[in-house]
Structure 1
Amino acid sequence: MRTSEQVPGARGAGAVPMSLSPSRASDFMQCPLLYRFRVIDRLPEKPSEAATRGTLVHAVLERLFDAPAAERTPPRAKSLVPGQWDRLLEGRPELGGLFAEDEGGVRLARWLGEAEALVERWFSLEDPTRLEPAEREMFVEAELDSGLRLRGVIDRVDVAPTGEVRIVDYKTGKAPRPEYSEGALFQMKFYALVIWRLKKVVPRRLQLVYLGSGDVVTYDPVPSDLERVERKLLALWEAIRLATESGDWRPRPTKLCGWCDHQALCPEFGGTPPVYPLSVSPAASAEGGQGRMGSDPM
């Protein structure tokens, strides 16, 4: 998410957190040190083919709705892929490095073909000729009564003639097994909470469209769901505040460590993090900082 985040009371010259997004909340739950590297230190990370392909597919699906309903066809959508890739390169020239050693453009052509296949699969899951989104790539921000600001970008918002709201998110990967589905739903409930606080309307449906596996997962939230999410986010924010003030960002090793760009700086792999750029509160350090988090807030 394109956010900055701040913890009230934190001091220092570094990048102090200012708000919370679904991505950064997930980072902290996955590994507090990863959150620090991304939000506090703002360490650069290499672009990946998978993440960049996801960005490209999202751009194509957004732009397709610029066309009249009858012209929203698979061939037209696939024809948008090269132009949207060129636009991505204009805005982020470093992405060209993904295929710097690609003689003859074979890997790039295959990669673009994979993006086209994902776009084409979408048509088997939704009918864009019958959709008129109220919003696409919608930036949302809401401040809770506690002062915590929540931010995010929603892929698509549909509003029925009756006023019912549906939040839609495209995923270019495969749908997780049911026992792991809560992580993806957390992001959607986060968005639903923001919409609820902004518009005073609980979204009727949350919809995840998995282009990698051809699945559509839906969830119909109720106010009690979103109240629980708000309580969890407040607990998470308190843990982030304490870690920011104490400088205690403990790594949490998992199988996902193999995909982390920061292993060389992680104590779990024999590395040493950069010097902490913020002032440390002695009181927070004495309290144990990160250790105050207790059980996982999510």
Structure 2
Amino acid sequence: MTDLPTDVASLRSALAATGYLADDGLGTALFLAVALRQPLLLEGEPGVGKTRAALALAEVVDTPLVRLQCYEGLTAAEALYEWNHPRQLLAIRLAESRGQPLGDDDLFGEEFLLARPLLAAVTHPGPRPAVLLIDEVDRADDEFEAHLLELLAEGAVTIPELGTRRAVHRPVVVLTSNRTRDLHDALTRRCLHHAIPHPDTAAVEAIIRVRVPEVGDVLADQVAHALARLRTAALLKPPGLAEAIDWVRALQALGVERLDAEQARRTLGAVVKHDEDRELVLRTGLESVVGGP
């Protein structure tokens, strides 16, 4: 088990060793989330590295990552816990065969409890706190946010049949949002906040080199500049950092060392994900995308 970073600089260095480059603002936010054990809300466009920040942080802290992927219709029961109904049914049948009927207290005990991400993070035995990633919280319904408030404020969750469970090792909570809707003040005021912007061209190139270390200098430079040009086009879904890395890997898989219009056409599906955007790029001309810096 490695020592925890003691300051922002050491955390940024440790994150870089995992392949994640965090600027001073993000490094500070992540450090405070660990040091203060206060939830951190990361906002930004898809593909800027919000989810990967939590993954890298868990690796640096040397602790499990517990992930809750949010979606429309997600309920508290699905996120918190559920009862093992098949095991309960077997227990009922076994008790009946022995002439020992079971009551509710017998059927709703710890042995029948199945922990979902929120409960798993709170009950993590340590020795270090789990990193709980609540991913794309803006995709969940408004009502779901209310179920998170106890966890965010107190590091605890309540199970009606068993009572409140408080964390011995309060989890490091990282929430991400793509800003598809506004989050409630009750949630945001319980969190530290950091917005991750799309990185500039130099940062994109540096991240490509870290994430795909075998990439050649020319290709990394060309893809970073091509991404910048695509992001200035009137696309429905401007590509992000994740698409840039996918593009580089696709080009490498084809043995491409220099990006030209033909190679860009062959691999355009790695970076442009909508038919309308693809048609626009092709109509505009790939030469303008892959031109010199």
Q: Please give the TM-score of this superposition, normalised by the length of structure 1.
A: 0.27
Q: Please give the TM-score of this superposition, normalised by the length of structure 2.
A: 0.27
Largest Rg, 1 or 2 = 2
